[in-house]
Structure 1
Amino acid sequence: MKKLLNGLIISLLVTACSDPATPENNSNSATASEAATKLSLKQQVASITKDYFVLRPEVATYYGVSDASINANVMSKLTDYSPSGETHRRKGLKSILSQLNDIDEASLTPSETISLNAIKSEVKGALLPAQVVNYGNVLGEYGVWFLPYAVNHLSGLQIEFPGYMEDKFAVTNTAEAEAYLTRLSMYPAAMGTLVDKLNHDVSMGVIPPDFVIDNTLRGLQAQISGPANSHPLVTSFNAKLNAAKVADSDTLVKSAAELVNTKYYAATRQLIAALEAVRPKATHEAGIGRLPQGAKLYQTLIQHLGNSTKTADEIHQLGLAEVARITAEMDGLLKEVGYVDGTVGERMQVLLNDPQYLYPNTPEGKQQLMADIDADLALVDAKLPDWFGRLPNQEVAIEAVPDSRAASTSGAFYDAPSQDGSRKGTFWISLYDTASLPSYSLQTLTYHETNPGHHLQTIIGLSDELPLLSTVFYSNAAGEGWALYAERLAAEMGIYANDPIDNIGRLQSELHRAVRLVVDTGMHAKGWSREQAIDYAVATEGIHLSEATGEIERYTVWPGQALGYKLGELKIIELRTKAKQVLGDKFDIKVFHDRLLENGALPLDLMEQKINQWLASETAA
């Protein structure tokens, strides 16, 4: 509102000081009139945005998009996962790209042009895997990633539905409460489409590894282990109704409990039965190289999720080189603090089992862990003004993943804020096993997910003037690359200056991302087994076996996603080094960061193009 008011005052002052009698001003008036009739990029993609959310209704809930704001009925809808629904989604995504290509860039501002090209680039990337294989899902995890398996322990309707409904579905009035109940009632039908897709892909030889099916079954059993009236889908609904003081809430809650008991539980049992029928056909092979066109699919996923044209072998070798570099740095620091015997991985195992760095897996231990996150965030927030010209205007929320989903949640993650501001950007952390969260790793994890990592990047990139699709179709490599860069930045800020143990934890976190380059390509391109990848991660990083297992099983079902961290970070470092060389004494780290972040998480090639253009303009000035 303040920005709009200031703009209006300036417009009035300009009008008051001008002389309407001159021909020049008449010309200016005509030009202004023409400009006023031009549609902004946000206006031009409004119908395309609607088309997207119709394809993926749950993502509208994730971003807090209401039916009224896009003139479509999506709040009470669920994705059609059936084979025909997948075909429709692929055609719909191609149509979206065609409509984006039809937009005339000459009508756009420079910032809008960058945004449009970024959206188009990511849509093209999302379509690449679909042009190679007929199985899997486009617009899968977070409504962007391609997933080779329709059902797995981390993704799919059975994971996203309770997550969206419990955490993100707004219930502030009776109409929204009824929409919530409608979605609950539709769950069996949606589950039926997912089972159809599962069986369709199985018929093509696309079956998740046996350990993925086992993990998925354990998660599903946990979802139906208790009485319906105490299920989080009911208790969270009740809490929202009470907070909003919605009339007749007792009746609405009873309806929700009945729907969970008769619809949600029944649908969950249907998926359990379907997976149990598939389980005997599953193999223990981890990589997608065994799938039809698996090698070609993996190369498209490197482009889609890593913004890279490197081959799997090139990335594997890059990973080995980064592992060697970071391990050497850790070796020196470990020796400084008295850890001298054994490999770096073996010494980190000693550190991992030192009780002074472990949080007890108790309510008190978890409470202390959350308090330490708050303290670490306050420490870095105080230093942000020295490193960024633009600062986030929203605080980040810090929440523990609900117990009902903690076991099936991958470590920690960040959720973007809702568009209406009613829900903050949120750092979610799973406290299922605190042994996998030693204190020396917690600070770096916090900076990755909050400030100066994902939260700062997301808030700076958000703009009322740019379309929501520029946030939805974000670059995985730029987003995760920035968050990894943010970990390094915290060290440059002096956070670890007097804390060598936590700095070792930071380097272990970077090593973890280098290991990802090795094991992801190892499994999906070089035939590594699950066990080989786990053993390599434990031996190299010195992390807890449970953490390594969860991570490796994650890479199995999200091939290529884990490559984005290191590939993105290395590109940002490369661009920063170039900017320092080109600008010399004129280089300002705050300006560099602002230029890098102001248009959101741009695909890496567009990020490089943008920085090069900025450097050219600076040197020409």
Structure 2
Amino acid sequence: MSNLMKRIVNALILAMLATGCSDPNPTQTNQTAEQAKAEKAVPVLSLKQQLAPITQRYFALRPEIATYYGVAEDEAGKDVLSKLTDYSPSGENHRRKALKAILTELNAIDASQLSASEQVSLGSIKSEIAGALLPAETVAYGTMLGEYGVWFLPYVVNHLSGLHVEFPSYMEDKFAVSTPEQAKAYLNRLSMYPAAMGTVIDKLDQDVQMGVIPPDFIIDKTIAGLQQQLVHHASEHPLVSSFKAKLTAAQVPDSEALANSAAELVETKYYPATRQLISALQAVRIKATHLAGLGHQPQGAKLYKAMIKHLANSDKTPDEIHQLGLDEVARITAEMDVLLKQVGYRKGTVGERMQRLLKDPKYIYPNTTEGKQQLMSDIHGYLAKVNTKLPLWFGQLPNQEVAVEAVPDSRAAATSGAFYDAPSQDGLRKGTFWISLYDMAALPSYSLQTLTYHETNPGHHLQTLIGLSDTLPLLSTIFYSNAAGEGWALYAERLAAEMGMYKDNPINDLGRLQSELHRAVRLVVDTGMHAKDWSREQAIDYAVATEGIHRSEAMSEIERYVVWPGQALGYKLGELKIIELRAKAKQALGDKLDIKVFHDKLLENGALPLDLLEQKMDQWLESAKAANAAAETKI
């Protein structure tokens, strides 16, 4: 019985009791009928409406994420654009308590009043928030709602994450400046940077007192990245030059004065705060060790298991994942061996032969302006090629083109490879494929086609655009599953081969298999470092020897896994789950499986946690089987 029916029945019972169970008074009967009618008239709020105040409370905890997603203040909350995250110990404690309170509120929502799509969305948000809370409930150190406003980070300061990395990134690339009010908000955030940096250093100091210190090589790389921020004259810093370009493009009044104010703030606020963090890290560096794994931190083994659940949606043990990685490495290298022999590379291990391929000049883009232009042109060519095939494999297609951009030189050295940024909610900023051209030797031409498909179509861009919905809450986009999101993008690489993208091109197909091998190696080295006491060097050596990649790329990747434990596991574990679901559908439906329907169904609610994704696809499969059976009966 629904809550509404219960209220109506209770009202009737109370009315009868009030008259001693005698015949009801006509007036009372009319009042009861009117009351029931009024209750029926109360509109049921959509999930998006119910979550509107919760969404604003989330953005109050992580204001910068509103900028990242291009959310207007009327949805994100008043003055959000002028605020920064409080990273202090008290701020971190508040975030943990507040997110737990948000989960309690979400659990109290009556799902029976929601549409089927809303129920899936609510379940996904609750599951991802619960996963984000797991590490925070395991250890007192680290910071929750870190990278992308979702991930838990064991080190509040590292070379890839933290205020010092995200602040210049979103201010330069994502902070909209088209009005005087937005320009003032931009300057206000610049002025607040030293205070925010002070909260970061306070948290860093507290974690150090708990015995949590990043490895020495991570501190060294972080300091190097910070020092790179100081090489510009203030007026030429990207925080100023990008701001000035936006002001000019929007023809904001007093643009020159506003740009001069930004330069002054960079000189008097941003640079001193950056130097302050460098000094703090130099003091910590004295105490650092060279140990790479999370297992060397307090309660590190327990935390790593929580991170696996949080970022890979898996209950597998590190040992199970490690062995799965070894098995996948063996399978993929066997496939690569066949292709390598086909193109004339017969001697040595797969890794050794891929190393020789890597050094072949004809596959290396020159580290010149012309070489970089050619690489970007090739990306656009691969994208155009795959776009013609998408209608054969998807019923729903992206309604927006993807932008392709090189990471600015000021941040390229600190950026790991390539990544995708979702489009802004206001529609002003496209979904963007960013690629770092800092080390051209790490981007051989045979790897570029697969990288393009991973980040654009049919990978992250298609996935993101299909999963977006104006009717569902924004939190269902923010709290996405890393395993489902990255698993889809890896599956998309394999799908591109099915679509014929590598036909008669065994060299680029080798690049595709090497990319898949790379994700299998991640299972081995991530668990190796964090659960089996592997050193940084051991992990780098294994990656180079197994994959045949450039040593600088291996180093960058391994150091990424050190500071984002468990994140890199999501790719392979997610891909294998999608492959499993497709095989199940094929077994159940046979020739009646429409791959376009399967893909659309898989993507329609965004990147769901893997267990919820499987539940949803199983329900769809049962409905499809029933529909097929009914159709056969009619025949």
Q: Distance in 2 between matches of 1:498 and 1:601?
A: 33
Aligned residue for 1:483?
Answer: 489
- Structure 2 Cα separation of the partners of residues 177 and 78 of structure 1: 16
Aligned to 2:240: 234
- The reply on whether 1:202 has 2:208 as its aligned counterpart is yes
Between the aligned partners of 1:238 and 1:502, the Cα distance in structure 2 is 41
C-alpha distance in 2, partners of 1:600/1:33? 35
Match of 1:313 among 305, 319, 341: 319
Counterparts of 2:260 and 2:464, CA distance in 1:
38
Task: Tell whether 2:450 aligns with 1:465.
Answer: no
Secondary structure, counterpart of 2:142 in structure 1: coil
Aligned to 2:14: none
Matched to 1:193, the amino acid is T
Match of 1:387 in 2: 393
1:533-575 per-residue CA deviation (whole Å, 9 max, x = no partner) reads 0000000000000000000000000000000000000000000
Match 1:412 to one of 415, 418, 424: 418
Measured in 1, the distance between the counterparts of 2:136 and 2:76 equals: 27
Residue pair 1:118, 1:606 contacting (<8 A) in 2 also: yes
Contact 2:350–2:546 (CA<8 Å) still a contact in 1? yes
Say yes or no: does 1:550 pair with 2:556: yes
Match in the other structure for 1:4? none
Number of the residue aligned with 1:23? none
1:374 — aligned with what?
380
Counterpart in the other structure of 2:7: none
Deviation of the 1:189 alpha carbon: 0.1
Q: Please list, as runs of the form range in 1=range in 2, the aligned pairs for 1:223-302 lying within 5 A after superposition.
A: 223-302=229-308
Shift in alpha-carbon separation, 1:498–1:257, aligned structure 2, 3 A: same
Q: Which residues of 2 match residues 583-602 of structure 1 at below 5 A? A: 583-602=589-608
Whether the aligned pair in 2 keeps the contact of 1:360 and 1:366 (CA below 8 Å) is yes
1:330-479 correspondence to structure 2 within 5 Å? 330-479=336-485
Counterpart CA distance in 2 for 1:33 and 1:591 is 40
Please point out which of 626, 632, 635 is paired with 1:620: 626
Q: In 2, are the aligned partners of 1:54 and 1:72 still within 8 Å (CA)?
A: no
| Matching residue of 1:21 | none
- CA deviations over 1:393-449 (Å, ceiling 9, x no partner): 010000000000000011100000000100000000000011000000000000000
Q: Distance in 2 between matches of 1:163 and 1:88?
A: 26
Quick one: percent identity of the two aligned structures? 76
Residue in 1 aligned with 2:135?
129
* Partner-residue secondary structure (3-state), 1:45: helix
Q: Distance in 2 between matches of 1:585 and 1:334?
A: 34
C-alpha distance in 1, partners of 2:132/2:535? Answer: 27
Instruction: State the Cα distance separating 1:33 from its structure 2 match.
Output: 9.9
Larger radius of gyration: 2
Partner of 2:584: 578
**2:56 and 2:75 in contact (8 A); partners too:** no
Does structure 1 conserve the Cα–Cα contact (< 8 Å) formed by 2:147 and 2:161? yes
Corresponding residue for 2:633? none
Are 2:81 and 1:91 aligned? no
Question: Could you tell me how far apart the structure 2 residues matched to 1:96 and 1:31 are?
Answer: 33
* 3-state SS in 1 of match to 2:433: strand
The CA deviation string for residues 583-613 of structure 1, in whole angstroms up to 9 with x for no partner, is 1121010000000000000000000000100
Task: Assess if the C-alpha contact under 8 Å between 1:147 and 1:557 holds in 2.
Answer: yes
Distance in 1 between the 2:538 and 2:37 partners? 66
Determine the C-alpha separation between the residues in 2 that align with 1:34 and 1:466: 24
Where 1:561 maps in the other structure, the secondary structure is coil
Task: Give unmatched runs, 5+ long, in structure 1.
Answer: 1-26
Please give the secondary structure, in 1, of the residue aligned with 2:415. coil
Q: Deviations over 1:31-71 (max 9, x none)?
A: 99958711000000000100100000000000001212233
Cα distance in 2, alignment partners of residues 31 and 297 from structure 1:
54
Q: Deviations 1:469-510 (Å, cap 9, x if unpaired)?
A: 000000000000000000000000001011000000000000
2:567 corresponds in structure 1 to 561
Distance in 1 between residues matched to 2:445 and 2:77, nearest whole Å? 48
Aligned to 1:189: 195
In 2, the alpha carbon distance for the partners of 1:187 and 1:31 equals: 56
Paired residue for 1:18?
none
Q: How many matched pairs? A: 593
Cα distance in structure 2, aligned partners of 1:361 and 1:324: 34
SS at match of 2:82: coil
Matched letter for residue 285 of structure 2: R
Letter in 2 for 1:44: Q
Let me know the Cα RMSD of the aligned residues. 1.2
Superposed CA offset, 1:47-104 (max 9, x none): 0100100000000000001212233221010000000000000011101101111110
Equivalent in 64, 71, 91 of residue 70 of structure 2 = 64
What is the letter of the counterpart of residue 192 of structure 1?
Answer: G
CA distance in 2, matches of 1:45, 1:435: 47
Contact 1:125–1:303 (CA under 8 A) maintained in structure 2: yes
Aligned to 1:64, the other structure's residue is in SS state coil
Q: Which amino acid aligns with 2:492?
A: A
Aligned to 2:9: none
Q: Distance in 2 between matches of 1:56 and 1:258?
A: 26
- Per the alignment, do residues 242 and 312 of structure 1 end up closer, same or farther by CA in structure 2, a change over 3 Å counting? same
Q: Amino acid of the residue matched to residue 130 of structure 2?
A: K
Which residue among 479, 496, 503 is the counterpart of 1:497? 503
Choose from 515, 520, 528 the match for 1:522.
Answer: 528
SS in 1 for 2:81: coil
Residue 535 of structure 1 pairs with residue 541 of structure 2? yes
Q: Match for residue 38 of structure 1?
A: 44
Per-residue CA deviation, residues 333-373 of structure 1 (Å, 9 max, x unaligned), is 10011000100000000000000000011111000000000
Tell me the TM-score normalised to structure 1 length.
0.95
Distance 1:570 1:254, change over 3 A: same
- Residue matched to 1:168: 174
Per the alignment, do residues 31 and 482 of structure 1 end up closer, same or farther by CA in structure 2, a change over 3 Å counting?
farther
Taking structure 2 as the reference length, what is the TM-score of the superposition? 0.92
- 2:58 is aligned to 52
Q: Does 1:81 align with 2:87?
A: yes
Could you say if the C-alpha distance between residues 173 and 611 of structure 1 is closer, same or farther in structure 2, counting changes exceeding 3 Å?
A: same
CA deviation vs aligned residue, 1:200-248 (integer Å, no higher than 9, x gap): 0000110000000000000000001110000000000000000100000
Q: Distance in 1 between matches of 2:516 and 2:139?
A: 33
Using the TM superposition, name which of 120-129 and 64-73 deviates more: 64-73
Distance of 2:310 and 2:201 partners within structure 1: 26
Check 1:235–1:34 CA distance in 2 against 1; reply closer, same or farther (3 A cut): farther
